[in-house]
Amino acid sequence: MNNIEKLKQILKKHKIKCKLIKHEKKLIRSDDLKDKNVTKEDVCKTIILKTRNKNYLAVCLKGEDRVDTKKVKESIGKKVDVATHENVEKSTGLKVGEVCPLLVKMPIIIDKKVLERDELHFGSGDLYYDLIINPKDLEKAITFKIADIRKDGWRESNFQK
């Protein structure tokens, strides 16, 4: 069974309303949908982190935010680094850009800003599909911790001309 079929089963089982949209091109970065009038503020990215004792966890942040590994350490009590592409695939079975919080089997921290929105675009397990759901509906299917894990005052838009 492919990742999209697995995702559809999870969404159906937990009665999560969604839109699953197939695109012509691969979606890897949070700005890959800007030609569809989707901004980074409309995207939730899932980043895999690795602890020093080689355990993995996923963090979900809005597309324009950066993860603050010091805040993650305060939240879980362990120092973390962003996982390499190879480690993302090894720990999730998914490529960078495909990672969906509903498809990973590891602890998850969701930044509190993510839950302020009623609709966000998530990775779907397939680089050609876009999953749009209410982030609050994630709690119907997975367990996660809510924390402030984004870098304060950092906005990618601050560095664009």
pLDDT tens for residues 10-37? 999 999 999 998 988 877 776 767 777 7
Helix (H, G, I), strand (E, B) or coil at 59: strand
pTM of this structure: 0.89
Between 131 and 39, the more confident residue is: 131
Q: Which helix (H) or strand (E) holds 85?
A: helix 85-92
CA dist 18 → 3, 7, 89, 110, 132 (Å): 16, 11, 25, 19, 6
Quick check: 94 and 83 in contact, CB under 8 A? no
